[in-house]
Amino acid sequence: MRVLIVEDDSELADRLCAVLGDAGFIAETAADGDSAAFLGCTETYDAAVLDLGLPQRDGISVLHHWREQGCTMPVLILTARTRWNDKLAGFGAGADDYLTKPFELGEVVLRLRALIRRMGGHADSVLRVGPLSYDTLNARFSLDSEPLALTAQEQRILAYLMHRPDQVVSRSEIGEHVYARDLDPDSNTIDVLIGRIRRKLGRALIHTERGLGFRLTAG
């Protein structure tokens, strides 16, 4: 899952990138409001972490711009502003969650996972497709209740498919959501990774829809 971190404090942005990377996210950053407004509408993200106090354009203005342009990604506001009016303005602009500083880095991970899960229409923190399950809180996969060993790239692809069961997902869509914007994997790379996941599953849960992409089903 790709996440945009909009934060002008470079040290905090680096810490967020590190913890999100360890949790399996692809984290990208914007340090000012103009860059954030542009990236949020031109790149594909599964969620955004947005500070309010930004140079060039404040976070509320950025969020208004995203929503006016039809950007529906869930947004977690992360700010030192604790006044009720600030929270009201944030939610009024289209925020999905609000976390005030100081905070635990791990809480950002949990809140983002919950936002992305709910965006896909999943209420339970454990996603299930047939014998396959994905614990979104701990980023753990199981097959027939047994732990499933996957590489980081395989985890990102399978997590994306788990959020979209029975939906056809194209190769380009997978590339947009599981790779950073400065990487452009060719279709063969994604096919190879899908093939590795299939072998580890040991059964036909991921189906190829010729000319369209892949579909994860219960079997």
> What's the pLDDT tens digit per position in 158-211?
999 999 999 999 998 898 888 777 666 666 888 899 999 999 998 889 999 988
Look at residue 127 and give its three-state secondary structure: strand
Looking at domain 2-119, does it have CATH number 3.40.50.2300? yes
pLDDT band at 120 (very low <50, low <70, confident <90, very high): confident
What are the b/e assignments for 189-203, b being 16+ CB within 10 Å?
Answer: bbeebbeebbeebee
Record the tokens describing residue 109, joined without a space. 């991970």
| pLDDT for residue 185 | 64
Domain ranges across the chain: 2-119, 126-216
CATH topology of domain 126-216: Arc Repressor Mutant, subunit A (1.10.10)
The pTM of this model reads 0.83
